[in-house]
Structure 1
Amino acid sequence: MGSRIDKDGPSASTSASISSVTDDVQQVKGLTFDTARMHFCEQYGDEAWDLLMESLPRHTRKIFDEADFNEWYPEGEMRRFMHAVHEQLAHGDDQRFMEIVRGLALAGISRFFRMLLGLASARFVLRKVPVVWKRLRRGPAELSTELTDDGRVLIHYEDFRYCRDPIYRQLSMANCQALVQAATGKVPRAKVLVWDRTSMTLAFEVDS
């Protein structure tokens, strides 16, 4: 399985084709859809939210309207939404997109993971990413963490079909950064070390 440096990845247009609902074995808990709806309406207004929804298929809009906190929904539906956010709210700007995602993640953390707020160690919360993942997602994907000799925290994703999507790689980095931001008030530097179609490794530089 050959790894590739992030800059050599496929274009966004190649990776933007969205998988079918019926073949999506990776799932997301309903509370993530409800949190997105609440946060975007509060932060950007109902009109911006309506425009986002209008760009999505009817069945995707229905999930955001009716999501049950404890039910599971296809990851592909969240992917559709994130592509719309990248295009419409971030206007294709990757850094702006990651800022938007961090804001959304912080809203979810303050709502459902208050125990992370005020924790002092960035390394501690990053090493808890696999635990948070299992609270919000289910499917074949497996996450693990590693502390390098130079003090970085690496997060390894395996069997996650969306690693091939550059927007989803940005989403993953921003979500992890938000955990550190919630705990320490700082956003760590992050990058994708390697990735292929179903795996990737994210690296985070954190204070000692």
Structure 2
Amino acid sequence: MADAMVEESATTTRSGRVITPSTRAREASGSDNISAVRTSKKSMTQVELTAVKKAAGLIEEKQSGKDGNRDMLKKIGQYLESTYQEVKGLKEVLIKQEKMIKEQSKMIQEQSSTIQALQTQLYPVKIDNANQTVILDRDSNVLPGAIKTLGKENNVDIAKISWLSKKDTNKAYGSMVVYVTKWTDAKHLIEGNYFDIGGESAYTRIFKP
């Protein structure tokens, strides 16, 4: 048996360690195991990195979706704000226009009232010694056409006539007031001191109500 066995050649390292072929085999086997472990760890690390990258990609995708929604909401908010400002501006313009229209309407009414007052402005002149039969009918009403006739006779524009004296008396002459439309006509009658009535002359005075 001693002949069959081959004596292992040993090697001594500088540190004094004796290494035999069997030791080398064990160390080689251990080295292979370490290499395999390292390879396995490397593979696991790569798998983990891939998983992390994938997870990061999913997170980024979701975040991108959130950012897109946020941008959309921001744009909608800006649009609504812009629309609100436009509506607010239009409302202010309408309020100003409405106020302006009211002021113009008030001004027109005032001007209309002034014009109407000027148009209806009459100037009274008192007439004494007026022939009642030429002015009034039996019911003491002003005769139709009397205003036009007297106006033409005296070259003035008469709007109306009011009898001043008592209507139930038997006196043929009395006093009345003629209302002319022009101040110049009233002045002319008063300064002339006369008023023609059916060919007769009556006397004019300033009317004092």
TM-score under structure 2 normalisation?
A: 0.19
Q: Which has the higher contact order (CA 8 A, sep 6+)?
A: 1
Q: Which structure's CA Rg is the greater one?
A: 2
TM-score under structure 1 normalisation?
A: 0.20
